[in-house]
Amino acid sequence: MDDLEFRRRLLADPDDNDPELISTKNQSTTNRHFANELHQLDQQLKKTLNVDIPDNLADRILFRQSSQAQPKNHPTYKRYLSYGLAASVMFIVGVMVGQQDFHPSQPQQQVFTPTSMSTIALQHVNAEAQFVDHTDEAVTLQQVNAKLKPFGTSMNQLPGHIYYLNYCGFDGNRALHMVVGTDTGKMTVFIVPQTSSKMATDSDNINQSLLLPLQDASLIIVGDKNEKLMPIAEKLKSELYWQI
């Protein structure tokens, strides 16, 4: 094997263990030095590209995309990698969106009052009643905490049987929507990533709502007009553990 073929083969694959290639490498100090340098460079490139994927990435992306209004033509950034045959170097082209490391961004700030959030919660429950009332997903504590993670909180134990759990649109924000079974019936729980300054209540012909301020969020309970909402609201609030 001549020097040109030897170098071409190594540039294509620094880990090539072909016997003829190894024999040529051992014929001279120059060949061994060239092969060792390419191997070290290849290992450094592999180490650089070995990036761990953050936990719960799917939920974080879903939460961020729903919390921020993105234009329809929002660019998709891609990372391109090439090994130069002559220099064996890597080029990375493109920019990550907003220079973020997949952490959930803050929801777009909107002007809300506690009363308006309580009213939105009532409207939401009425609009989805036909679907949610006949759903029983038997949600586990692990599933609840996976959905709560983008809000920066988790729950120590379930307040009761969880019939339904998902994210929902809450007038431009991404909220957590749960249906909880209590001793007196089902209640709907919203955790909205919008702070409130005080407690608020509202009602319509069928249901009533109660809003309690949380750390960096608001807890809203919706139940029948004859139900006592404060006990379940206080129990839920006491079970939430906020990450520092």
Ordered by start, the domain boundaries in the chain are 1-50+69-104, 114-242
Q: Which residues of 143-169 are buried (b: 16+ CB within 10 A; e: fewer)?
A: ebebbbbbbebbbeebbeebbbbebee
Most confident of 18-22, 104-108, 156-160: 156-160
CATH hierarchy code of domain 114-242: 3.40.1000
Nearest to 128 by CA among 179, 200, 175, 197: 179
Q: Torsion over CA of 195, 186, 231 and 204, rounded to 10 degrees?
A: 60
Q: Where are the beta strands (DSSP E) in 20-110?
A: none
Record the pTM. 0.53
More confident residue, 208 or 84: 208
Nearest to 119 by CA among 210, 231, 45: 210
Per residue in 192-229, pLDDT (tens digit) is 988 887 888 899 888 999 999 988 889 999 999 888 89
Per residue in 102-125, pLDDT (tens digit) is 344 444 444 445 568 888 888 888
| Residue 67, pLDDT above cutoff 80 | no
Average pLDDT score over residue span 126-149: 88
